[in-house]
Amino acid sequence: MCGRTGLSLHNNALRCACAYKPKGAETYTKPDWLDEHNDGKKYVPSYNIAPTDVTPVMVSASRYKNAAQTDRVLKPMMWGIIPPWHKDDYRKHNLSTNNCRLENIKSSKLYSPILNNGGRCIIIAEGFYEWQTTIKSKVKQPYYIYAKQDENTKMDEPQTWSNDYNELDGWKGIKLLYMAGLYHVWQHNDTIIYSYSVITMDSNNTMDWLHHRMPAILDSESQIEAWLDIDNVSPDMALAYLKPVKLLSWHKVSTLVNNSRNKSQDCNKDTSQKPENKPSQKPLTAWFTKSEKRRSTDENNDNSPTSKKSKQ
């Protein structure tokens, strides 16, 4: 499953990080940013994004031709699809729609129509959190999972992110995760909400030690392009592109992330304990010290009244 994510990049940096080469182009293009509706809720960078928060989602621009100048669009959306049939307060539909299971999408009364109507999207994240239940204490240990980074890039140390962008070389910086999802535009009276669900699948041997489910992560440009191309790639063909990703990194984090109100950088800090390097042998001086201490003790005992009496 996927219950928390992290994304600290602001709008302009995120557009650079999601830059792509349109077909036949020699330079990179930044996707347009469309920020509207969602009942006034805005995207706020956070190290602990929870369901009902608003986060940037990438979609095809074919439905936004009047507003977008690029083929791809970044659109802030609320995490957790609002069912199309729901009326009244969008926060009270009482369904768990943060994730949708890949194997159930085509038979689902909620997700199947959304898929067939071109509601494919990509959720952008720096990483996501998952919890492991330990055998000893039964306390769930949180982990932060993210894409493989360059050698000198530390996910929990933003000062090591050498983020840079130009049209010829594209984005040179932190590597993001692109998670396949479905989205829907819900409207009731004057309220319009864009909302999404993250698609999950059975874990492979990369992640099954931690959890039996994992997000459907798109780790190649061909996968991203196919998933977004709702005009030329059929739903069945698009689903066939979803495979468990093999190259991921992770580290333990504090239970601060358990509380969704904690949004600070401390949430994804590496808390793994490194073993102390203990000397395998005692230094030679320790034996001399021990011998001197024994000799001093013996001398004191020889001067004691009990010792003198024993000698007599």
Domain that holds residue 24: 4-268
Quick check: helix, strand or coil at residue 63?
helix
The reply to whether 68 falls in a domain is: yes
The reply to whether 14 falls in a domain is: yes
Query: What's the rounded Cα separation, in Å, for the pair 142 and 305?
Result: 65
> Which CATH number does the domain housing residue 11 bear?
3.90.1680.10
- The CA-based diameter of the chain, rounded to the nearest angstrom, is 113
Contact 213, 192 (CB under 8 A): no
Based on the residue annotation, tell me whether 221 is a catalytic residue of this protein: no
Q: Token digits for 210?
A: 């931690």
The reply to whether 285 falls in a domain is: no
Based on the residue annotation, tell me whether 151 is a catalytic residue of this protein: no
- Of the residues 2, 100, 121, 267, which is catalytic? 2
The residue type at 209: W
Contact 58, 121 (CB under 8 A): yes
The reply to whether 290 falls in a domain is: no
CB-based contacts of 90, cutoff 8 Å, min separation 6: 39, 82, 186, 188, 191, 193, 195
Q: For position 171, what pLDDT does the model report?
A: 96
Rg of the Cα atoms in the chain: 28
The reply to whether 206 falls in a domain is: yes
pTM (two decimals): 0.85
The reply to whether 249 falls in a domain is: yes
User: Would you give the DSSP letter of residue 83?
Assistant: P
- Of the residues 16, 100, 130, 267, which is catalytic? 130
The number of beta carbons lying within 10 Å of the beta carbon of residue 71 is 18
Q: For position 276, what pLDDT does the model report?
A: 38
CB-based contacts of 81, cutoff 8 Å, min separation 6: 97, 100, 110, 111, 114, 182, 183, 184, 195, 196, 197
The reply to whether 26 falls in a domain is: yes
The reply to whether 191 falls in a domain is: yes
Query: With a cut of 50, which residues of the chain have pLDDT below it?
Result: 275-291, 293, 296-297, 299-301, 303-312
Query: What's the rounded Cα separation, in Å, for the pair 227 and 27?
Result: 22
Candidates 179, 49, 50; CA nearest to 102 is: 179
Q: Determine the Cα angle at 192 with ends 191 and 194, to 5°.
A: 145
What is the number of structural domains in the chain? Answer: 1
